[in-house]
Each structure stands twice: as structure tokens, then as C-alpha cells.
Amino acid sequence: MTRTSIMLLVALMASASAQSPESAKTKLDLGLYAGVIASNGLDWASTNQCVRRPDICREAELPEALVSNKAGWTSYEAAKSVGTIYAAHWLTQHGHPRVARWGLLAVDMLTMAQGAYNYTLCTGARKSPVSPGLPVIHPVPLPVIGHGN
């Protein structure tokens, strides 16, 4: 877990304990927030491991310039954590705490699964579906409709 993630978690816990009982975060919410930070930390570490071993696997979804730059990659993962937690907080404040909790749980599970998959690729237990000799296929952008087309 990075220093920024730990500081964010401590700040969230301090703000939760300083608020009134009606608006305080529950232990479940704090646990889910910690899960988001931990899963993004795992994703950060597993992707770094993958980048260090280009003969076994490579990053197929994100630009190579982003994942090879430590500061940029760390900032991206921290922004993902903060954005996810902020979205859950916003949903909770607007009367949708169950949606926020289910969303956090889904994000945690999917990110943990991706981190575990990256580690299986890096250990050589599984072969990468993206061969280093093949080009990476990116999604085709959809056409914009209604702008003079």
C-alpha cells in the first residue's frame, strides 16, 4: 500500500469519527473504502511486476508510457481510489447507500481479480493472451451522431 493510500484512509477514518452519529461512516463503509485502496495497491504492484517482466506479459489495456512512469502510474492508481470512494460517498449522500456499497464491492472484486491474474501471468503459471509479437487491439471508437453527419 502506498503512503498516499494510507494517508487517505487515515483522513477518512478521522473525518468519520469527527462527524455526528447520523452522518458517520459505518464500519462496513470504511472496510469497503479500505478494500478499494488495497485492491488498487495490488493492481499497482502486479502491473509493475508485469512491466518488469516483458518477456512473460505486457500491459494490454493502458498506454505503455503510463505504466512505465512510476509517478504517473502511482498518480493514476491514487486517482482511481479517490474517484471511486468519492462516487460512493456522493451516492450515499444522495440516498443510495446500498448502490454505493454494491458498487464498491464490485470494484473491489474486479480489481482484486485483475491483480491476481497479473500475478499468475508474471509467475509464468499462465501464458499471456497478448503475444509480444502481435499488435494490441484497442476498442473501435463509436461514431458521434447528430453533429452534422
Q: Is the pTM of this model over 0.85?
A: no
Q: Which residues contact 57 (CB under 8 A, 6 or more apart)?
A: 50, 118, 121, 122, 128, 130
Calpha distance 93→106 (Å, rounded) = 20
Give CA 7 to chain center in angstroms. 17
Q: In the numeric block, which cell numbers belong to residue 61?
A: 489495456
149 residues of the chain, pLDDT tens digit each:
556 666 666 666 666 555 544 444 677 888 888 989 998 888 888 888 877 777 766 666 777 778 778 888 889 889 999 999 999 989 988 988 889 989 999 988 888 888 887 777 776 665 655 555 444 444 555 555 665 55
pLDDT at 45: 85
CA–CA distance, 93 with 102 (Å, rounded to integer) = 15
